Each structure stands twice: as structure tokens, then as C-alpha cells.
Amino acid sequence: QAVALQQGGAGSQYSQVQGVRGFPNLGWGFNSPSQELQASFEPGDPRLQATILFAWEELPYGPAEVVYLNTTTPTNQYNQKSILPLENPGGADQGGVNIRRIRYADVLLMAAEAAYRTDRLDEARMYLNQVRARARQGSAATLGFSPEQMFEPMAQGVLGLEAGDSRVFVRYVNPESPAFAAGLRDFDGVCGGPDDSCPGAQAVPPVRIVNADLIQSVNGSPITDLASFEAAVRGLTPGSQATVEVVRATQPQSGMVETEALTITLPVQQLLPDVTAGGPDLLEAIWHERRVELAMEQHRWFDLLRQDREQPGRAAAMMALHGKTF
């Protein structure tokens, strides 16, 4: 077991290498998630937020700190699965986070692929859908975007929100999602200096809100925090329509925050529906599930090499998406 000790020597650099580069200074910012990985998650898949740590996002556990923008990193996104608590007795280079070599979901997906290759398609779908059912966390519905609870100093200090105002904003909406077509947009913020520049990787710049879509209500149910949003969505029926009240906050350069009230009708989608496909589509579904379920766990490259033996050129095509053509 990796363990963080004051004198060191028992932890690992696993979290440091992939940690936030800049402020709070947890690491080097290596192994950053790609935009293509972000887009590969199905609309509303909660694993997106559990996998990728975004700029201006509150760290998953205390103390309450937010990831500040760092213009020296390629995407300002990090591997959330490796994040180390700030209060770590061994320091960033002596982390207590274990490297998980294998998980039950990995075993299920190996079993699904093995069953597929031996023409036991019902069994393959059963194992695959067990992984998807766990990811749903008991919810059957989604509005097609990734919600997030806003960092409180940003909510109060930047947007001036009062107690009881909604803190739930749209972090990411896939351009292929009906929510995007209906008008919802990703959260976007930049460094808030006079010229929108960051004063330095170690500095704590203010934030200027370029776009923040704050969810006020869903079918009349008031939304104040992530728990109330999740409760409202759980009560929706896939295939129906939901009326969503939104306040869009924007902030012109060196200007005051401006708000616009929007009423948007969204189709209620089934969250991570069971896979019913057969043939090559089933194999692709299993491979896709490995991509999102095991994302940032150091399986992807080896999966691509293995898949390339069956579909020559697959690995090269995937790497070319990131400018790697050698």
C-alpha cells in the first residue's frame, strides 16, 4: 500500500505527476485528459465529472479549494482519479494514492468481450450493461449535460449570488446533445485581470465569467444545489419534455456581470440505456465502455494496440486525432 508519512519513503509520485499545475500546486499537470475523451462520454454520463477535473472546479475533497486557470497547460484539465488531498503529510511527492491495477468493471468488460468472441451475445450484453447500470447510480433520466456545484467564493464574490440562489451550473454539454441544440452552453471563465491575462502560474487570479448557465428550476421545482437538481431529474420520465429555467451570466471585459433569464425546453433522455446491439456494433459498444469507464487509468494505449490487431489502422487513426502521426 502507498502511504503518506511525514518522513516520506512510503508514498508515490503517482498523484504529483498528474496533479494540478499552478494553484493549488499539487503537481506537474502531465497526462491531461484530451478534448476527444471529454466528447466521448454520452450526454449526462456522471463518469465525466468523476474522471476530469476542470479549471475553476472545486477539488473533490477538502479543504475547499478551486483549480485556477493556468495558461501554460494544454487543456486546463486533469486526471481527477489521481487527485491527492492538499493536506498530505508526505508532501506532493509522497502521496498515499494507490495505483489500481485492476477493477471489477475491467473484469466485467473483459468477460463481455470474451463472451462476444464465443458467440454468447446475451451474456456479453449482460456484463456490459452491469457496468452501465452502476454508472447510472440509480437514475434513469438525464437532461443531457454535466451539472456542477459552483465554488462558493465564485458564486458570491464574482456573481453576487445570495443565499438560496442556485449554485448549479452547466459545466459541459456535448455538441451532439439535444441540450446543446436547445441553447445550453458550457461554463467558460478566463483570468480576470485588466487584459484577461494570468499574472503567473503560482498566483491566484480573479475569474471573469464568459458564460455561466445557472439552473433555476426544472418543471417548476426550484434548484438551489446539486442535491435538489439530482432529485428533480430523478423524478423525470425519459421520453418526456422538461421546462428548465436558466439564468445566463456573462461578464464583459472589465465590466459588471450581466444576466439574462431563459426558458428552455429539453427532451428527457434515458441515462446510459442498456445496450441491445449485436454483431460488430456490440463489440464497438464494449470498446467504447472501456474507454469511458476506465478513462485515465492507463488502459487506453494498450487497448488500442490490441484492437489494432483486429482493425488495422485503428490505433494510428486515434493517435492522429492528437497530432501524433509517427
In angstroms, the CA 233 to CA 82 distance is 29
Give residue 207's pLDDT: 85
In angstroms, the CA 16 to CA 18 distance is 5
Average of per-residue pLDDT across 192-219: 78
pLDDT per position as a tens digit, 192-203? 766 666 665 555
For the CA atoms of 135, 141, 146, 149, what is the dihedral angle to 10 degrees?
Answer: -100
pLDDT per position as a tens digit, 273-308? 999 999 999 999 999 999 999 999 999 999 999 999
Q: How many residues does the chain have?
A: 326
Nearest CA to 236 out of 215, 246, 216, 221 is that of 221
Side-chain-side CA neighbours of residue 91 (13 Å): 5
The residue ranges of DSSP E strands in the chain, in sequence order, are 52-54, 77-79, 141-142, 146-149, 168-172, 188-191, 207-218, 221-222, 241-250, 258-267, 269-270
In angstroms, the CA 212 to CA 284 distance is 35
pLDDT per position as a tens digit, 137-165? 999 999 999 999 998 888 988 899 999 99
Quote the pTM value: 0.92
Helix axes of 104-117 and 121-136: crossing angle, nearest 10 degrees: 160
Q: For residue 245, list its beta bridge partners.
A: 217, 263
The answer to whether 197 touches 191, Cβ cutoff 8 Å, is yes
pLDDT band at 12 (very low <50, low <70, confident <90, very high): confident
Those residues with Cβ within 8 angstroms of residue 319's Cβ, 6 or more apart along the chain or in another chain? 304, 325
